[in-house]
Amino acid sequence: MSQSVKRTALITGGMSGLGAAAATRLRAEGVKVFTVDIAAGADFQIDVTDHEAVANLPKQLPHIDILITSAGIVGPNIPLLQTTEEQWKSVFEINVLGTASFIKAFAPSMVENGWGRIVTFASMAAKDGNPNLSIYSATKAAVVALTKSVGKELATTGVLVNTIAPAVIETPMNKDTSSEVLERLTSLIPMKRIGKAEEVAELVAWLCSDKVSFSTGAVYDISGGRATY
């Protein structure tokens, strides 16, 4: 992060897990961080599916240089044939439309300013398609495609848009994941352990810095060796 320029960041899902870790890491760099979450204590207690509230949020904030969209849910852990239309809609509304809404709300001022960093969160599930997580896997694949598209659209503006695809990370998001599923997913990781939120936050901080200048629309794996493509 450039020490001579003070940046301001907005992080969705910023009160726990990857979002909270990213907030802590960026604050250590001197970045002013605002959080959005449905949890108490967030600077803005907003549901990312409330698109009107999201669209009005820029009016309540100073200029945002960095946007990190970490809000998301896993959804049902069941076979595709047992899923319902409502389950599909609810997970897509949060993971995909929520991400798109925040980019639409905050990218314009970044473009106008000639500098911006947007980091979205995908998953290894977007590449591998985890069994019994068809909805989650599909939404994260959509986030990858969304990021690639927006990255190309903004490629000449000074606004870089990249996504991170973690393997299993130790976060509250996985607290309801069964031990059997966690063991299976961990077995796919060559390092034979799950990741830590702080490790992901290091990658976030780098992607939000001036050190990254020739990468946009890219997918950055952080998987303990699970992903090789």
Q: Which residues contact 139 (CB under 8 A, 6 or more apart)?
A: 72, 75, 91, 92, 95, 96
The bridge status of strand 219-222 relative to strand 66-69 is unpaired
Q: Say how far apart CA 100 and CA 48 lie, in whole Å.
A: 10
* DSSP characters over 154-201: TTTTTEEEEEEEE-SEESGGGTTS-HHHHHHHHHTSTT-S-EEHHHHH
Torsion over CA of 66, 156, 124 and 172, rounded to 10 degrees? 10
Supply the pTM of this predicted model: 0.93
Question: What amino acid positions are annotated as catalytic residues?
Answer: 136
CA dist., res. 39 & res. 74, Å (int): 17
pLDDT tens digit at each of 229 positions of the chain? 444 689 999 999 999 999 999 999 999 999 999 999 999 999 999 999 999 999 999 999 999 999 999 999 999 999 999 999 999 999 999 999 999 999 999 999 999 999 999 999 999 999 999 999 999 999 999 999 999 999 999 999 999 999 999 998 887 766 667 777 778 888 888 998 889 999 999 999 999 999 999 999 999 999 888 876 7
pLDDT at 228: 66
The whole-number pLDDT of residue 4 equals 62
Question: 3-state DSSP: the chain helix, strand, coil percent, rounded to 5?
Answer: 45, 20, 40
What integer pLDDT is reported at residue 3 of this predicted model? 47
Helices (H), 9-123: 17-28, 51-56, 85-92, 98-113
Please give the domain boundaries of the chain with CATH numbers for all domains.
Answer: 8-220 (3.40.50.720)
Residue 175 is predicted with a pLDDT of: 66
